[in-house]
Structure 1
Amino acid sequence: MGFKRLDAWLEGLVEGGRLPGAVVLVARGGEPLYFRALGHLDPEKGLPMREDALFRLYSMTKPWVSALALTFVEEGALSLRDPLEKYLPAFARLQVGREVGEEVVLEPLRRPLLVYDLLRHTAGFTYGVFFVSPVKRRYLEAGVDRFDLPREAFLERLSALPLRFQPGEAFEYGLSTDVLGHLLEALSGKTLAELMEERVFAPLGMGDSGFQAKDPARLAQPFPKDPETGRRIALLPVEAPPPRFAGGMGGVGTALDYLRFLEALRTGKGLLHPALARLMTEDHLGPLYAEGLKRGPEYLPGPGYGFGLGVAVRLGAGLAPGSPGEFFWAGFGGTYFFVDPALELSALFLAQAPNLLSVLEPARAFHSFYGDRLWLHFKTQVYAAL
C-alpha cells in the first residue's frame, strides 16, 4: 500500500481545519522513505509549509538535554549517583509535599535527589499544569511553569516548593530536565545553549537547532485560535533570546536536524558511545512501571512503555504497533517522534497544534483530537505503510 493512506490522512487533517500545516519524515536505516511538507507555515499569512520549517519542540527538547548529560557521564565528569545539591546547593532545603486530601503535609527527603532521578523523572518535581493536585496548585501559584522567569528566579522559586513524591518513589513528569540543564551549566561554567552547540548540534550537523529561531521567517505558526476550545493560541516566543535556557521545553529545530539526533541515538554513532546510547534508550523504571499504570493518564508514557533516561521505552503491548525497545517522546506544541531500532525505523511528525484541553480542562483531555490520539494514529499509519 505504501504511504497513500498516510498521505490521505494528512491531507484530510489540513483540509478539514485540524492542522495549520505539518512536516512529516519517515526514515529507514537513516534514509528518508517519506518526507513531506503540507499545509501552511503561517495560516494567517497564507505562507506554504516548507521542509526546512522551524518548530517549537517543547518537551522534545528533553531528549537533547538528557543526551548532553550523558556526554559528561561518558567523560567521567558527572555521575548518575551525584546528588543535585552538589551542583545547585539551594536544593538542599527540598522537602516532599505529601498530599492528604486537599492538604500538603511536608516531610523530609528519605534520600538525596540524584542526577539519575532527574533523567528518569523520578525526582518528584512536577508541573503546575496537566492534571490537578494540591502540590501542583503550589507550582501554579509560584509561576515556575512560566517561560519568562530568569534562571536564578526559576531556581530560587522551585527549590522552595515541595516535591510531589519522594525521590525514586514514582514517575512524575515535570521540571526535572529544566533542573538538569541548569545543573550542567553549574558543572561546566557554560550556558546550556553553548553546551548543546558544542557537544550535540555541531558534531551532528544540526545547524538549525537551538533555543532561538535562527531564521524567524521559517518559524511555523499555529492557528490564531484553537479549533477545539476557541481560545487564542500563544506558543513560546522563540524569535528573541530566552530569559533562561529551558532544557525541558525551549528547543527549536527542523525535521532533518532532529532526524540526525535520533539516528545518533539509534546507531550509537556521532554523539554517545553505543553503550551509553543503549543506556539512554532502555527502561530504567522497573517496578515503578506497574505502579505508574495504576495512576491512569497521569502516567504519561502510557500502557506498554517504561521510561529510560529521557525517552519512553516500549516493554510490551501498547496502543499502537511497535517492537520491544522502540522509544518515543512528544512536545506540547504538536511535535512527536518514535524510533524502532529493530526495524531501523525513525519517524517524525512536526506541527504547531497544541492540545489546549490538557491544560485548560484536564478532565476532558481524553476527548481531544490532539496529543496522544493524533500520535497513535500517525504511528499506526507509518507501520501500515511499511
Structure 2
Amino acid sequence: MVKFLQFVPLFLLFISCKDPGSKTEAKTERYNQSRLNRIATVQRDIIQKGLTGSNQVLIFKDGQIIYDSIVNSGLRGDENITDQTIFPLWSMTKPITTVAVMILLEEGKIFLDDPIEKHLPEMADPKCQHESGNTYPCTRSVTILDLLAHRSGWGYYPRKSDGQQVLLSDLWYKDLEDFSRSMVSIPLKFEPGSQYQYGINTSILGRLIEVITGKSLYEFLKDRILGPLEMHDTKFHLTDDEKVRLQPLLRNENGVINFYKHKYNELSYLKSSEVQLGGAGMVSTTKDYANFCQMLLNNGSFKGRHIISPTSVELIKTPLNPELENGTFTGCSTGFSLFILTDPVKDGTLSPKGIFGWGGYHGTLFWIDQKNNLFGLVMDRTSQPATDVFRKVRIATYQALN
C-alpha cells in the first residue's frame, strides 16, 4: 500500500492519453476541438485528486465521435483501459430495463396504472410503515408507474457481509421470484405514489418482465435491446476470460488508494446465477453503452432498427419528482430512472435544460443532449463521489460548443 499523497508528484509521468481526435474529423463550425481536448486535463485532474483511476470519456455529436480519450493512471494496482475493458454498470442497468418495460407498454402487455399484484400476485396487500415504526395496510397498491418513478416506498437495504457494508448481492436470493417475494416482507416507507425514494424498484420490474414474457430477463434484453444495439459485451455474468477484462475498483481507505479486481464486486457475476437484477446487475464496455446512448439520442432507433418509439423516449425523460437538492444531479428532477436537468443555473455547467441521463454506483455516467444532438459517456470504476467528475466533464464539453 502506498499513501496517495506520496506518489501524486510522480504518477503524472505514467499517464497515457489516447489521441482525442483520432477517431473523427473535426467539424469546426459545430465545436472547438482545442477546447474539447481540455477534457483530457479534467481526466488527469480527477486522477490526481484520487477521485478515480484510469478513465475514458467519449463525446458523440451530429452522428460521429468528436472526442474519445483514455487517460490511464499508471497507479499500482490499476490497469490500463482498452476498447475491451469491462465495467460494472450498476444503476446504469436501470435505463436498459426501463426501455424493456417501454417495449411491453407499447405492445399493450402492461399499463402504467396496473397494480403490481396483477402480474406478481405475491405483492397484493402491501404494508406501509408509519413514522412511529408501526405498520398498517397501505391505502392502495403499488403500480408499474410507481416502480418506474421510484415512488413505491421501497428503498435499498444494505447488509453487513464479512465486515463490509454490501449494497446488494445476487447471492442473497435463489432467483428473481425469490427476490420479489423477499421484498413483500419489507414495509413501504410511505403510501405508494406519494413520495420519491430511490431503490430496488427497477429490479422488481425485471421480475415483471420475466413473468410477462416467459423468458429470463437477460434473454428478453438480448432479443429486443442488446442484440439489435450490437451490445454483445453487455450481460449479467462474466466468463473467466471476461473477468480478466474487468476494470479494478478504486477505494480510498483512510487516505490510501487501493485497487481491487474482484474483492468488492458485491455481485457474483456467475453465469449460473438466476438473479438478474434489472436495477444493478449488468456489465458493459464503452462501445456497447455508447450504442445504447446513441439509440436514446435518436429517439429510440439505432442504425435504422426500431427499439422504442419517440413517444416512449419522451415519456421516460419527463420530470416527475421534486428537484434533487444536492449530490451528483443537483438542479435535476427524475423521471423513469433518469435525471432530467430542470434548473441550468443551479447546475452551473452550461448544460441546456432538458438533458437527461444517469450514473452507476461505481462511477460510470452518461447524459443525452437532444438539443445539441450530443451524448457524453464517462467510464471508470471508483467508490468515490462522482459529482465533481460529472460537472467538470460537462463544463469542458459545453465550453467547446460554438
Normalised TM-score (structure 2): 0.79
CA 1:144–1:31 in 2, change beyond 3 Å: closer, same or farther?
A: closer
Task: State the partner residue of 1:373.
Answer: 388
Provide the rounded CA distance (Å) in 2 between the counterparts of 1:231 and 1:10.
19
Counterpart selection for 2:205 from 158, 174, 180: 180
- 2:356 matches 1:327: yes
Deviations 1:203-252 (A, max 9, x none): 11111111123522321111365475778861244552235001111011
Task: State the partner residue of 1:367.
Answer: none
Task: State the partner residue of 2:337.
Answer: 310
Task: Check the 8 A contact 2:87/2:379 in 1, yes or no.
Answer: yes
Which one has a bigger Cα radius of gyration? 2
Structure 1 residue 128, shift from structure 2 partner: 2.6
CA 1:73–1:379 in 2, change beyond 3 Å: closer, same or farther?
A: same
- 2:105 matches 1:90: no
Task: Check the 8 A contact 1:144/1:158 in 2, yes or no.
Answer: no
- 2:193 matches 1:168: yes
* Equivalent residues in 2 for 1:112-151, closer than 5 Å: 112-129=141-158, 145-150=168-173, 151=175
Deviations 1:161-205 (A, max 9, x none): 111121110111000001010111111111111111011001111
Provide the rounded CA distance (Å) in 2 between the counterparts of 1:42 and 1:164.
43
CA 1:219–1:120 in 2, change beyond 3 Å: closer, same or farther?
A: same
Structure 1 residue 325, shift from structure 2 partner: 1.7
Gaps spanning 5+ residues in structure 2: where? 1-33, 161-165
Segment of structure 1 superposing worse, 196-205 or 229-238 = 229-238
Task: State the partner residue of 2:4.
Answer: none
- 2:53 matches 1:28: no
Task: State the partner residue of 1:244.
Answer: 275
Task: State the partner residue of 1:54.
Answer: 86
CA 1:41–1:232 in 2, change beyond 3 Å: closer, same or farther?
A: closer
Tell me, what secondary structure is at the counterpart of 2:172? coil
* Aligned partner letter, 2:98: S
Structure 1 residue 60, shift from structure 2 partner: 0.4
Tell me, what secondary structure is at the counterpart of 1:35? strand
Segment of structure 1 superposing worse, 117-126 or 35-44 = 35-44
Counterpart selection for 2:182 from 157, 162, 168: 157
Deviations 1:122-143 (A, max 9, x none): 11111135xxxxxx99xxxxx9
Structure 1 residue 27, shift from structure 2 partner: 0.6
Provide the rounded CA distance (Å) in 2 between the counterparts of 1:79 and 1:335.
31
Task: State the partner residue of 2:40.
Answer: 7
Report the identity percentage: 25
CA 1:196–1:41 in 2, change beyond 3 Å: closer, same or farther?
A: farther
Tell me, what secondary structure is at the counterpart of 1:99? coil
Structure 1 residue 301, shift from structure 2 partner: 7.5
Equivalent residue pairs, number: 348
* Aligned partner letter, 2:152: A
Task: State the partner residue of 2:109.
Answer: 77
Task: Check the 8 A contact 1:333/1:353 in 2, yes or no.
Answer: yes
Task: Check the 8 A contact 1:201/1:207 in 2, yes or no.
Answer: yes
Segment of structure 1 superposing worse, 49-58 or 319-328 = 319-328
Task: State the partner residue of 2:290.
Answer: 259
Task: State the partner residue of 1:276.
Answer: 312
Gaps spanning 5+ residues in structure 1: where? 130-135, 138-142, 356-369
Provide the rounded CA distance (Å) in 2 between the counterparts of 1:183 and 1:42.
43
* Aligned partner letter, 2:288: D
CA 1:165–1:145 in 2, change beyond 3 Å: closer, same or farther?
A: farther
Cα RMSD over matched residues? 2.6
Task: State the partner residue of 1:348.
Answer: 377
- 2:368 matches 1:339: yes
Tell me, what secondary structure is at the counterpart of 1:148? helix
CA 1:302–1:38 in 2, change beyond 3 Å: closer, same or farther?
A: closer
Task: State the partner residue of 1:217.
Answer: 244
CA 1:206–1:15 in 2, change beyond 3 Å: closer, same or farther?
A: same
Structure 1 residue 353, shift from structure 2 partner: 0.3
CA 1:159–1:11 in 2, change beyond 3 Å: closer, same or farther?
A: same
Provide the rounded CA distance (Å) in 1 between the counterparts of 2:75 and 2:244.
10
Structure 1 residue 57, shift from structure 2 partner: 0.5
